[in-house]
A = this chain, B = another copy of it.
Amino acid sequence: MATAIPLGALAERLGATVEGDATQSVCGVGTLESAGPGQLSFLANPKYRRQLAECRATAVLLGRDTDCPPGFTGTRLRVADPYLAFARASRLLYPLPPVEPGIDPSAVVDASARVDVSAQIGPHAVIGAGARIAAGVVIGAGCVVGRRVSIGTGTRLHPRVVVYDDCVLGDHCILHAGAVIGADGFGLAWSGERWEHIPQVGRVVIGDHVDVGANTTIDRGALEDTRIGDGVKLDNQIQIGHNCVVGEHTAVAGCVGIAGSTRIGPRCRIGGAAMLNGHIEVCADTQIGGGAAVINSIREPGVYVSVTPLMPFAQWRRNAAQLRHLDEFGQRLRALEQLTGLRDRAAGSNETPEGE
């Protein structure tokens, strides 16, 4: 499915300087180890430089000043950021499959839906009343698009995506299989005897160039909308609660849960399986480690972590038991410090250095 591109043309597109034969073509990509003739590879991390010496690729992307080992005899394309250039070269070599305009005869499209003639509606898709499907949109097999949903230009839904009524998807988004956009938020009131569900009357509004991973769920807002900013990238199996706001160009790795009404700033990076409490704010440019539990708002950009180190079972058992005694440890330390004179007794009774 890859397209062949001459190295000269590729270099021009990437702003690369060519060292070696620019007349050859590449028609695919590979790792330094696996790439063969006709393929392009890249060296972004210097620790793989030894692999470059034995690389059989026709060409490699590498940094402007990176030493190229003499063993590599292919063409060098020198760029400022080899990984970014590789991403762009890959997109040129592996363009998205062409849109095949038309509505599959097995699709069920409401008469009041407006589907652009250049859009592709797959087998068994269902398009609800009043939906608007823009130019170049691809709706995969078995997708269900609710009433009055709006889907912007060039957005692609892989098979079996569900978009509930009234939600809005911007332009050039990609939604993977099984994603569910706009299910009811978890809004409940306790009557004293049972939970009563609160109708969720907000929408989900997704900006442009947003990716949504497989089986990821984004709930509609309770009163206001849930909002996903332009350029946000969401991996698989993520849950985003009602009323959340995710700022532009924030990337969220797989299995993350974001509870309702939380606001995440732009350009954050959230590691896999992190869990964010509801009703908090995370400021712009924050990085959150994998598996972290974010209970309170984060006001300063930085890298935040909360994970417990893995231990062999016997070691864990001994140490984990002490976690219930840490407060007591602090008190015993203080008593010892007072006894030995390392801490003033009077002062000791007034301050609590171990407190938060």
Q: Which chain B residues lie closer than 8 Å to A319 at the CB level?
A: 323-327
Q: Report, as a range, how many residues of chain A touch the other chain.
A: 35 or more
Of the listed residues A91, A180, A318, the one surrounded by the most CB atoms of chain B closer than 10 A to its CB is A180
Is B178 in contact with A180, judged by CB distance below 8 angstroms? yes
Q: How far is the CB of A258 from chain B (nearest CB, A)?
A: 9
Residues of chain B lying within 8 A (CB to CB) of residue A235? 186, 239
Chain B residues whose CB sits within 8 angstroms of the CB of A318 once the complex forms: 326-327
Separation of A283 and B313 alpha carbons in the complex (Å): 16
Task: Pick the residue among B201, B219, B275 that contacts A290 (CB under 8 A).
Answer: B275
**A198-226 CB contacts (< 8 Å) to partner B:** 198-199, 201, 209, 211, 213-215, 217, 219, 223-224
Is the CB of A135 closer than 8 A to any CB of chain B? no
Would B308 and A320 count as touching, CB distance under 8 A? yes
Interface flags for A147-175 (1: CB within 8 Å of B; 0: not) read 00000000000111010100000000010
What chain B residues lie within 8 Å of A219 (beta carbons)?
214, 236
Is the beta-carbon distance between B186 and A176 smaller than 8 angstroms? Answer: no
- In the assembled complex, the CB of A218 is this many whole angstroms from the nearest CB of chain B, namely 9
Residues from chain B with Cβ under 8 Å of A31 in the complex: 223-224
A17-25, A64-72, A138-146 - the one binding chain B: A138-146
- In the complex, what residues of B have CB within 8 A of residue A211's CB? 184, 197
- Smallest beta-carbon distance A8→chain B, Å: 22
Assess the B316–A306 pair: CB atoms within 8 A: yes
B-chain residues with CB within 8 Å of residue A223 when the two chains form the complex = 29-31, 34
Q: Could you tell me the distance in whole angstroms from the C-beta of A20 to the nearest C-beta in chain B? A: 22
Q: Select from chain B the residue with minimum beta-carbon distance to A35.
A: B223
Q: Which of A187, A198, A219 has the most CB of B within 10 A?
A: A198
Please, which residues of chain B bring their CB within 8 A of the CB of A304?
310-313, 316
Residue of B nearest to A334 (CB): B332
Q: Closest B-chain residue to A325, C-beta based?
A: B354
A-B contact pairs, 13 of them (CB 8 A): A2-B201, A93-B199, A94-B199, A106-B106, A140-B144, A162-B178, A176-B184, A178-B178, A215-B215, A275-B291, A291-B293, A304-B310, A336-B337
Q: Using a CB–CB distance below 8 Å, which chain A residues touch chain B?
A: 2, 28-31, 34, 81, 83-84, 86-88, 90-91, 93-94, 104, 106, 108, 122-124, 126, 140-142, 144, 158-160, 162, 164, 174, 176-178, 180, 183-184, 186-191, 193-199, 201, 209, 211, 213-215, 217, 219, 223-224, 231, 233, 235-237, 239, 241, 249, 251, 253-255, 257, 259, 272-273, 275, 277-278, 288-296, 298, 302-313, 315-330, 332-333, 335-337, 339-340, 342, 353-356
Per CB-CB distance, the 6 closest pairs between chain A and chain B, nearest first, are A322-B326, A87-B189, A183-B214, A255-B257, A144-B159, A318-B327
